[in-house]
Amino acid sequence: MREREEAVAERTSGVLVVEVRGELDIATVLRWTTLIEAAICELPEPHLLVLDLASLEFLSAHGAGGLLEAMKCCRDRGIAGCLIVTPGSVADRVVRLTGLADRVRVFPNRLTAIAACQPEEVRWLPA
């Protein structure tokens, strides 16, 4: 399954969406967090980082800890961050059981996340 791990990043008007695919566990967490931190550093005039976990096949508690660290990195740089998690998925269960959902905003899809997390000056939909 490791060969299916990849990230897809999309940038649009101050929003960076990183789609995490494959597995996020003790063996891959350093690679993922490094990739996410590099993406944050490259984001001009940052507003929002969206980590899309909808295509994630496996998420461990260690991987959830790595996601929390990535979100802390965002906050330290003044960037809002949130997660996309499909309700009822493996990632959803881990995000909720580890308490990550209590510390990071979680949404069921990208549109809802972007509309809710954008700063008021760039919002195009009401939160």
Digits of tens for pLDDT over the chain (127 positions)? 344 455 555 555 678 888 999 999 999 999 988 888 887 777 666 578 899 999 999 999 999 999 999 999 888 888 889 999 999 999 999 999 999 999 999 999 988 888 887 666 655 555 5
Q: According to the model, what pLDDT value does residue 116 have?
A: 82
Q: What is the count of structural domains for the chain?
A: 1
pTM score: 0.82
Torsion of CA 104, 18, 63, 117, to 10 degrees: 0
Q: Is residue 92 part of a domain?
A: yes
pLDDT at 9: 54
Residue 126 in any domain: the answer is no
Does 125 fall in a domain?
no
Expressed as residue numbers, the domain containing 39 is: 2-119
Residue 124 lies in a domain: no
Judged by DSSP in three states, 107 sits in strand
Domain membership of residue 58 (yes or no) is yes
**CATH code at 107?**
3.30.750.24
pLDDT score, position 20 = 92
